């Protein structure tokens, strides 16, 4: 994954995760609120239905009260008349009264006459509840209310029902009625559905906000990407220009050294040999002296060629390693400038010698640093330190010159420190420059590859 895609992912993913978390929380809270509202509504409706049921049963009891309370009327006759009265009582489309004896035998059931006379003690509803047992238990406990499933006469389907019963102890009867709760279930379902609809609307709004936010982030990332591309292109062009300029400067330097050094020496050697040849042709005894002078200048030319070759790429760097190459560089620098150079090198540099790219980079950095000291520092002493710290190698140049400005590391003029910085950044290293009058410390730290440490 490219860096721009990583940045975009790190920007968008937390936003999406936050919106998903908010959406989940809204959904959870909406469901909780819907359940609470449904429970409150159900409790309110059930309370009104409980009061209504109790009122109906009280009316039924009052209608048979003269028969139940008359001790002179024979019990069987009174019960027969009471059954007839209860059989004719009803309310609403599905409201009726029923009666059972304490053994579970049905005595009155206007809507399902086929149940009259049957023992329903073991009757269960679809939820496995023993209906008659539960009603008798509720009547004995004094509460009288009980929920159960029963067939609704108008639609002939099993429906949840709330019943209320009371005991007639003298007759051993349980008298009661019930109200079907399908309207309560519809009302609570509507409350839940409205809450879910509100949650869906909220989630859609959050989705719209998330889409707009993602589009804004994407647009911002695209604009930033275009800007970064332009900046990177400008930097690449500037770097390419600096590389071309560096190559031209290096070629000009080599050209000057060839013209001013080797070329002059070779011309002098040519004149000296021509003089020796002329002297030999005329029998001049000074021919041998001229020959020796020409050979001496030829040796100087060979030494100059070696020096230029060493500046381009020191052979010691390939044969004996960085420490030896730095030692030779230090000696040549001291001889050329008169500046005292002290070098301190760790002996454990085999791991570094197995990484030629970093070896060459450190050598070139040392060259650039010494070149800057020679040109700008006006120093009298330089300390070069090459040491290893764990899996990193560190090169330090310390001089006692006049120091450099605080922004020299990022200055746009000059290519010395900028070249050092770019070399270090390319090798994923660290570079620091600390300077005060009388002491400047340039420190470079590069990581060693794991394969080279083995």
pLDDT in tens, 238-281: 777 776 666 676 677 667 766 667 777 787 878 778 888 888 88
User: CA 399 to CA 363: how far, in whole Å?
Assistant: 17
Q: Single out the residue in 187, 207, 222 at which a domain terminates.
A: 187
Q: What is the mean pLDDT of residues 295-306?
A: 78
Q: Examine residue 222 and state whether it is found in any structural domain, yes or no.
A: no
At 397 the pLDDT is 93
**Tens-digit pLDDT profile for residues 376-395:** 888 999 999 998 888 888 99
**Would strands 392-399 and 381-389 be described as parallel, antiparallel, or unpaired?**
antiparallel
For 62-83, b/e burial (b = at least 16 CB within 10 A) is eebeebbeeeeeeeeebbeebb
At 454 the pLDDT is 44
Q: Is the pLDDT score of 189 beyond 60? A: yes
Whether residue 443 contacts residue 417, with contact meaning beta carbons closer than 8 Å, is answered with no
Query: In terms of Cα–Cα distance, which of 56, 82, 55 is closest to 70?
Result: 82
Q: 171 — phi, psi (to 5°)?
A: -95, -15
Query: In terms of Cα–Cα distance, which of 289, 452, 261, 273 is closest to 355?
Result: 452
352: which 2 tokens? 């570094």
Q: How many domains does the chain have?
A: 2
Q: Examine residue 359 and state whether it is found in any structural domain, yes or no.
A: yes
Q: Is the pLDDT score of 226 beyond 70? A: yes
Q: Examine residue 334 and state whether it is found in any structural domain, yes or no.
A: yes
User: CA 391 to CA 56: how far, in whole Å?
Assistant: 93
Length of the chain as a residue count: 454
Q: Single out the residue in 161, 187, 213 at which a domain terminates.
A: 187
User: CA 175 to CA 198: how far, in whole Å?
Assistant: 45
Structural domain boundaries enclosing 34: 3-187
**Tens-digit pLDDT profile for residues 115-169:** 999 999 999 999 999 999 999 999 998 889 999 999 998 888 999 999 999 999 9
Whether residue 174 contacts residue 135, with contact meaning beta carbons closer than 8 Å, is answered with yes
| Bridge partner list, 436 | 439
231: helix, strand or coil: helix
Q: Examine residue 137 and state whether it is found in any structural domain, yes or no.
A: yes
**Whether residue 179 is found in the same domain as residue 323:** no
Whether residue 181 contacts residue 17, with contact meaning beta carbons closer than 8 Å, is answered with no
Whether residue 109 contacts residue 150, with contact meaning beta carbons closer than 8 Å, is answered with no
pTM of the model: 0.47
Q: Above pLDDT 70, what percent of the chain?
A: 87
Whether residue 15 contacts residue 214, with contact meaning beta carbons closer than 8 Å, is answered with yes
Q: Examine residue 384 and state whether it is found in any structural domain, yes or no.
A: yes
Q: Single out the residue in 187, 218, 247 at which a domain terminates.
A: 187
Burial of 132: CB neighbours in 10 Å, binned 0-12, 13-18, 19+: buried
Burial of 352: CB neighbours in 10 Å, binned 0-12, 13-18, 19+: buried
Other C-beta atoms closer than 10 Å to the C-beta of 137 total: 13
Q: Examine residue 278 and state whether it is found in any structural domain, yes or no.
A: no
CATH code (residue 134): 3.30.450.20
CATH code (residue 419): 3.30.565.10
Q: Examine residue 65 and state whether it is found in any structural domain, yes or no.
A: yes
More confident residue, 121 or 219: 121
Q: Is the pLDDT score of 363 beyond 70? A: yes
Strands lying side by side in the sheet with 340-345: 340-345, 381-389, 392-399, 439-447, 430-436
Which helix or strand (DSSP H or E) is residue 141 part of? helix 131-141
Q: Examine residue 235 and state whether it is found in any structural domain, yes or no.
A: no
Mean pLDDT of the chain: 83
Other C-beta atoms closer than 10 Å to the C-beta of 123 total: 17
At 316 the pLDDT is 65
**Tens-digit pLDDT profile for residues 59-94:** 999 999 999 988 888 999 999 999 999 999 998 888
């Amino acid at each position: 994954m490219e860096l721009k895609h990583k940045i975009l992912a790190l920007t968008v993913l937390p936003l999406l995760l936050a919106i998903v978390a908010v959406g989940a929380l809204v959904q959870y809270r909406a469901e909780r609120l819907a359940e609470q509202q449904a429970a409150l509504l159900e409790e309110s409706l059930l309370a009104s239905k409980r009061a209504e049921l109790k009122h109906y049963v009280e009316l039924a009891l009052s209608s048979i009260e003269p028969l139940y309370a008359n001790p002179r009327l024979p019990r069987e006759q009174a019960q027969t008349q009471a059954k007839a009265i209860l059989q004719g009582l009803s309310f609403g489309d599905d409201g009726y009264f029923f009666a059972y004896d304490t053994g579970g035998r049905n005595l009155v059931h206007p809507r399902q006459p086929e149940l009259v006379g049957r023992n329903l003690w073991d009757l269960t509803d679809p939820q496995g509840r023993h209906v008659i047992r539960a009603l008798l238990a509720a009547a004995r406990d004094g509460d009288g209310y009980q929920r159960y499933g029963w067939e609704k006469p108008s639609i002939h389907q099993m429906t949840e029902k709330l019943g209320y019963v009371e005991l007639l102890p003298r007759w051993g009867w349980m008298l009661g009625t019930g109200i079907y709760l399908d309207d309560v279930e519809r009302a609570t379902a509507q409350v839940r559905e409205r809450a879910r609809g509100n949650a869906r609307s909220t989630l859609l709004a959050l989705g719209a906000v998330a889409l707009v936010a993602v589009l804004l982030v994407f647009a911002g990332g695209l604009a930033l990407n275009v800007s970064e591309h332009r900046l990177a292109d400008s930097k690449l062009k500037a770097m390419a220009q600096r590389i071309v300029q560096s190559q031209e400067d290096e070629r000009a330097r080599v050209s000057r050294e060839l013209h001013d050094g080797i070329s002059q020496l070779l011309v002098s050697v040519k004149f000296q040999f021509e003089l020796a040849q002329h002297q030999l042709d005329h029998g001049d005894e000074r021919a041998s002296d001229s020959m020796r002078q020409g050979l001496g200048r030829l040796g100087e030319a060979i030494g100059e060629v070696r020096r230029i070759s060493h500046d381009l790429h020191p052979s010691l760097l390939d044969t004996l390693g960085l420490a030896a190459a730095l030692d030779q560089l230090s000696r040549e620098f001291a001889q050329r400038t008169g500046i005292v150079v002290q070098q301190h090198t760790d002996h454990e540099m085999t791991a570094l010698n197995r990484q030629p790219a970093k070896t060459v980079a450190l050598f070139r950095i040392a060259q650039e640093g010494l070149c800057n000291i020679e040109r700008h520092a006006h120093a009298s002493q330089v300390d070069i330190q090459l040491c290893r710290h764990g899996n990193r190698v560190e090169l330090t140049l310390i001089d006692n010159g006049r120091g450099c400005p605080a922004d020299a590391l990022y200055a746009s003029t000059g290519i010395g420190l900028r070249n050092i910085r770019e070399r270090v950044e390319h090798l994923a290293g660290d570079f620091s420059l600390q300077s005060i009058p009388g002491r400047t410390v340039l420190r470079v730290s590069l990581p060693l590859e794991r394969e080279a440490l083995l």
